[in-house]
Chain A
Amino acid sequence: MTRLVRVELHRLWSRRLARWSLVVLFAGIATAPVLVPWAFREQARINHDADIERCVQDQPPKTRDGVTMPTIPADIAAPAERDRLCRETVPTLDPDFHLRQLDQIFRTTAPLLVIAGFLVGASSIGADWQAGLLPTILTWESRRRRVFAARLVALVGATLAAIVAWQAVLALSVLPGSLAVDTTDGTGGDWLGTITGLGLRIALVGAGAAALGYALAVLGRGTAAALGMGFAYLFVFENVVGSQFKPLRPWLMLWNAIVFAKGTFEAGGDVPGRTVTAAALLLAVWATAIVAVAALVFQRRDVT
């Protein structure tokens, strides 16, 4: 089994999609020291403009970084006067990127990593179906359960490791900038634990997406079929069924994945009443069921 997993890891690395995904992701990191501070300043400017606008329109104020934005009395009716007063009273928050805000980068990039995981998972066996590689492999190792499991282990392990490595390198790439401008406040042991947990949970969701992509590609005998099923689920099932039959929504994957990745239990949040542990269990049940069906089909299906 170990030998098979090793061979499968080599095969996985031969995939152009796997290589290109890593190249693109790590190339993104090269731009992070410049891009991240710029993006945070830009976001601060946009937020400031929005807060002024809310103030002028007399809309409920937002709370940012623990500061609730001020309001002005509604009886000041002249738009020019309201605008002047709001500009004077709405504070400009610190626009610099602080290392403690790394979680925002992780959350923003998480969907990209999960999609990349799904694509790599789907193509890891989908391309083999298309190219006719499976007969070659199965005449060398005919125990299909072992082949299926070895691929799955290699894929999930590699995806998990790749995402964790990517997040670590990303964190290291923005660290020198934060040290240089002294924006490392609030990054003690607690923060390290929180950010590590967030990174690991995102990596787990990414690895789970890879396993799902793999399972769907086995069922559909191709990458395209897996992508079709994946997107049909996301955009049709989750959207239509989730919105038309609201009681079903807590049992679907997407929102539970969000609850799990965020790692925060919010009453009335993404899935009302769903704890992080319950979301993790539910996702595990979904993934296990789909992978088990795929394994069963792979075991019995003719390989042509």
Chain B
Amino acid sequence: MPVIEVVGLRKEYRQGRRRRVVALAGLDLEVPSGGVFGFLGPNGSGKTTTIRCLLGLARPNAGTIRVLGADPTRDFAAVQDRVGSMIEAQALFGGFSGRRNLQLLAGMADVVAATVDRVLGLVDLTDRADDLVRTYSLGMRQRLGLAAALLKDPELLILDEPANGLDPAGIRDIRRLLRRLGDEGHSVFVSSHLLAEVQQLCDRVAVLRQGRCVAAGTVDDVLATVGTRGIVVRLDDPVAGRAALVAEGIPATVDDQALLVDVPVGDAPRVAAALARHQVWHRELRPGGATLEEAFMALTGDPEVADQ
């Protein structure tokens, strides 16, 4: 059973007296149980609004939502103990220590006290746990917010931009933590702008544009939607490889330690044979796929990529 099911979700906000802004325009989304699900979209595409609707914080104008089988607009309380969340920059009490903040939240949901220390350790905040939150950096606040989301040992974790403000080491740590949670059977739903991170972290992704889902599936499925471009060949001497291919009438360019060969993927055997004839041996030969960033740009309307 999917942990999140969204059908035809529509949400409008009033701006001023008459103007209405459509944040979600009939969103359909299905998040399977287990693993890490990436939720992508440019600013203003409706990611945070979707998350607010999933958590029962905003009421949709139309459509249905199911989170762990419950309708969050009416009865989020039925599943609130099974859902951990972090919305944008998680706000906590600046006048309390990180530990005290978590203890207060734990007190709201019968979470045993020892769990507070455990989650502080998970996000590497044990050393600063007794400092006031107002003295924390943005990255530390993010980690504390993540710790708060983990307190209930939730089946479903909904995180809005959890890597915001983190340094590269922090991003890596969070990626590893989320990946581990996904592998342990938790369902992790994460929105992010860090596409390279999403590509490494997520099993499945959905791409949002102007309040609608424009692509969803495994990362490979989404990459395939923007097609493949030629063949990538990795070898020890790309310059010699290029010379060999050009001599055989196959167009190729050197890109760092690889060759980009501009032929259909079906011509891969011909490319391999051409290199072999010139005693040049490749280490890897694969279809030249787009990166998630390129796919994202193409799907969300970046003209430079869309024209390709």
A302 beta carbon closer than 8 Å to chain B: yes
Residue numbers in B under 8 Å from A137 (CB-CB): 108
Residue numbers in B under 8 Å from A15 (CB-CB): 95
Q: Count how many pairs of residues, one from A and one from B, have CB atoms less than 8 Å apart in the complex.
A: 72
Tell me whether A304 and B52 are in contact (CB under 8 A): yes
Q: How far is the CB of B285 from chain A (nearest CB, A)?
A: 49
Q: From residue 74 to 119 of chain B, which have CB atoms closer than 8 A to chain A?
A: 76-77, 80, 83, 85, 87-96, 104-105, 107-109
Residue B57 contacts which of A4, A131, A300, A304 (CB distance < 8 angstroms)? A304
Residue B108 contacts which of A4, A302, A303 (CB distance < 8 angstroms)? A4
Tell me whether A136 and B56 are in contact (CB under 8 A): no
Q: Return the chain B residue nearest A147 by Cβ.
A: B108
Q: Return the chain B residue nearest A140 by Cβ.
A: B108
Tell me whether B55 and A140 are in contact (CB under 8 A): no
Q: With A3-B108, A7-B107, A140-B80 in contact, do A133 and B58 touch (Cβ < 8 Å)?
A: no
Residue A139 contacts which of B57, B92, B104, B107 (CB distance < 8 angstroms)? B57
The interface bits of chain A over 270-304 (1 if a CB of B lies within 8 angstroms of the residue's CB, else 0) are 00000000000000000000000000000010111
The interface bits of chain A over 1-43 (1 if a CB of B lies within 8 angstroms of the residue's CB, else 0) are 0011011001100111000000000000000000000000000
Q: Return the chain A residue nearest B91 by Cβ.
A: A132
**Most A CB atoms within 10 A — which of B13, B58, B96, B104?**
B104
B215 beta carbon closer than 8 Å to chain A: no
B208 beta carbon closer than 8 Å to chain A: no
Residue numbers in A under 8 Å from B58 (CB-CB): 302-304
Q: With A3-B108, A4-B108, A11-B104 in contact, do A138 and B56 touch (Cβ < 8 Å)?
A: yes
Majority DSSP secondary structure for residues of B touching A: loop
Tell me whether B104 and A7 are in contact (CB under 8 A): yes
Residue numbers in B under 8 Å from A11 (CB-CB): 93, 104
Q: How far is the CA of A139 from the CA of B94 in the complex (A)?
A: 19
Q: Return the chain A residue nearest B108 by Cβ.
A: A140
Residue numbers in B under 8 Å from A142 (CB-CB): 55-56, 72, 76-77, 80
B148 beta carbon closer than 8 Å to chain A: yes
B229 beta carbon closer than 8 Å to chain A: no
B59 beta carbon closer than 8 Å to chain A: yes
Residue numbers in B under 8 Å from A304 (CB-CB): 52, 57-58
Tell me whether B108 and A136 are in contact (CB under 8 A): no
Residue A14 contacts which of B90, B93, B108 (CB distance < 8 angstroms)? B93
Q: How far is the CA of A142 from the CA of B148 in the complex (A)?
A: 16
Residue B85 contacts which of A6, A139, A302 (CB distance < 8 angstroms)? A139
Tell me whether B77 and A143 are in contact (CB under 8 A): yes
A141 beta carbon closer than 8 Å to chain B: yes
Q: With A135-B57, A139-B85, A303-B52 in contact, do A10 and B104 touch (Cβ < 8 Å)?
A: yes
Count of interface residues, chain B, beta-carbon cutoff 8 Å: 29
Tell me whether A136 and B92 are in contact (CB under 8 A): yes
Q: How far is the CA of A15 from the CA of B95 in the complex (A)?
A: 8
Residue numbers in B under 8 Å from A131 (CB-CB): 91, 94
Q: How far is the CB of A294 from chain B (nearest CB, A)?
A: 18
The interface bits of chain A over 89-108 (1 if a CB of B lies within 8 angstroms of the residue's CB, else 0) are 00000000000000000000
Q: How far is the CA of A289 from the CA of B13 in the complex (A)?
A: 28
Q: How far is the CB of A39 from chain B (nearest CB, A)?
A: 35
**Most B CB atoms within 10 A — which of A3, A139, A142?**
A139
Residue numbers in B under 8 Å from A303 (CB-CB): 52, 57-58
Q: How far is the CA of A135 from the CA of B107 in the complex (A)?
A: 17
Tell me whether A14 and B95 are in contact (CB under 8 A): yes
Q: Return the chain B residue nearest A6 by Cβ.
A: B107
Residue numbers in A under 8 Å from B93 (CB-CB): 11, 14, 133
Q: How far is the CA of A7 from the CA of B93 in the complex (A)?
A: 12
Q: How far is the CA of A133 from the CA of B101 in the complex (A)?
A: 12
Q: How far is the CB of A300 from chain B (nearest CB, A)?
A: 8
Q: How far is the CA of A112 from the CA of B76 in the complex (A)?
A: 42
Tell me whether A302 and B105 are in contact (CB under 8 A): no
Q: How far is the CB of B44 from chain A (nearest CB, A)?
A: 14
Q: With A135-B57, A302-B58, A304-B58 in contact, do A141 and B108 touch (Cβ < 8 Å)?
A: yes
Residue numbers in B under 8 Å from A10 (CB-CB): 104
Q: How far is the CB of A23 from chain B (nearest CB, A)?
A: 14
Q: Return the chain A residue nearest B58 by Cβ.
A: A302
Q: With A14-B93, A142-B56, A303-B57 in contact, do A135 and B104 touch (Cβ < 8 Å)?
A: no
Residue numbers in A under 8 Å from B55 (CB-CB): 135, 138-139, 142
Q: With A135-B57, A302-B52, A302-B58 in contact, do A7 and B108 touch (Cβ < 8 Å)?
A: yes
Residue numbers in A under 8 Å from B92 (CB-CB): 133, 136
Residue numbers in B under 8 Å from A7 (CB-CB): 104, 107-108
Q: Return the chain B residue nearest A142 by Cβ.
A: B76
Q: How far is the CB of B123 from chain A (nearest CB, A)?
A: 16
Q: How far is the CB of A22 from chain B (nearest CB, A)?
A: 15
Tell me whether A139 and B89 are in contact (CB under 8 A): no
Name 12 interchain pairs, CB-CB below 8 A, sorted by A. Answer: A3-B108, A14-B95, A135-B87, A138-B55, A139-B87, A140-B105, A142-B72, A143-B77, A300-B59, A302-B59, A303-B52, A303-B57
Footprint of B on A, CB under 8 Å?
Answer: 3-4, 6-7, 10-11, 14-16, 131-133, 135-143, 300, 302-304
The 9 closest A-B pairs by CB, nearest first: A132-B91, A142-B76, A302-B58, A303-B57, A14-B95, A133-B91, A140-B108, A139-B85, A142-B77
Footprint of A on B, CB under 8 Å?
Answer: 13, 52, 55-59, 72, 76-77, 80, 83, 85, 87-96, 104-105, 107-109, 148
- 17 new A-B contacts, CB < 8 A, other than A138-B55, A139-B80, A140-B108, are A7-B108, A10-B104, A11-B93, A15-B95, A132-B88, A133-B91, A136-B90, A138-B56, A138-B57, A139-B85, A140-B105, A141-B77, A142-B55, A300-B59, A302-B59, A303-B57, A304-B58
